[in-house]
Amino acid sequence: MAVVSGGERGDLNAISPAMRDALDSWLAGLKALDDATANTLAAYHADVLGYMAFLGRHHGGAAGIGPLTRVTVSDMRAWMAFERARGVSARTLARMLSAVKSFTAWLAEREGFDATAVLSTRSPKFQKKLPRPLSEDAAKAMIGTVELQSTTDWIALRDAAVVTLLYGCGLRISEALGLTGADVPLPEVLRIRGKGGKERVVPVIDAARAATAAYLRACPHPVEPVAPLFRGARGGALNPRLIQKAMQTARMQLGLPASATPHAMRHSFATHLLSAGGDLRAIQELLGHASLSTTQAYTAVDAARLMEVYEKTHPRSA
């Protein structure tokens, strides 16, 4: 079966059986130990397979464990140059290199070889894209306008409830749609399992509870503990594309930019909290970010504001 990697198609037949086994074992370890998501595992599989397929072509023959133990700095440069020549962006190549380094470090520990040439390879520089928040008025208008997109009352209430959770609780759309009947009535605090299986506690505002309750009163499908809270028209799990489409239509009616997406509602939640004087580390916890630097970029506040928060909260010694 062929797997796409950064625009390059890597064939499993292009690597040796031993390498296929090693790749499968590494991915199984990530799933078991790091609780990596299916999407993450698929991306890592594609990235590493493409890298190994390149090495096989570069040196001739199928890529096996032996050649990977002898990768040089020149080989790494050739692979990265090849991917860039194919049109792979610096951001994507950085992600691919991260996967390759992770796999190589695992393989080096298992096989006992020096992986310095791979692990010391510098990641290409790229400009991080900052999500653009909506203004508070625009965020509220988005919720109200989304509710007008469907002529079916319960579906209109459903869409408004989902978007209210994104903005009012800072949830990712996958997290909102991952709620089940066991979560209702929504409590004052929700335990959310986010990326990488990391759990966090999120306060639920009154508006989100009210919007969800209104949706449930109108929903024709029964509330079941193991079933999705937000249902599609036929009763199955709600497709996130339907929320994206409702927001797309709403933003056109409101004259908002294309950046007014479901993720922008989560970003707006964080930005508005920080603007109102919220603590940066508390917002980090609410968003489920592993590092504070991620939250700093995510909230897109100016350096002066960050320094103000730093001065108030950093436990400096006298």
Enumerate residues 6+ apart whose C-beta is below 8 A from 87.
Answer: 7
In the block, residue with structure tokens 């990488």: 196
**Given the residues 51, 167, 215, 298, the one annotated as active site:** 298
58 included as an active-site residue? no
59 included as an active-site residue? no
Short-list 262, 187, 269, 304, CA closest to 282: 269
Residue 194 near residue 175, CB atoms below 8 Å: yes
Angle between the N-to-C axes of helices 136-146 and 240-254, in degrees from 0 to 180, rounded to the nearest 10: 120
**Given the residues 84, 91, 263, 305, the one annotated as active site:** 263
45 included as an active-site residue? no
> Which segments of the chain does DSSP mark as H helices, in order?
17-33, 38-59, 65-68, 73-85, 90-111, 116-119, 136-146, 153-169, 173-177, 206-218, 240-254, 262-275, 280-287, 292-299, 303-313
Left if phi > 0, otherwise alpha if psi is -120 to 50, otherwise beta: which for 65? alpha
289 included as an active-site residue? yes
77 included as an active-site residue? no
**Given the residues 158, 172, 267, 272, the one annotated as active site:** 172
**3-class SS at 128?**
coil
**Given the residues 58, 195, 221, 305, the one annotated as active site:** 195
Enumerate residues 6+ apart whose C-beta is below 8 A from 303.
Answer: none
The values of phi and psi at residue 180, to 5°, are -125, 180
Report the distance separating Cα 33 and Cα 29, nearest Å. Answer: 6
The residues assigned a catalytic role are 172, 195, 263, 266, 289, 298
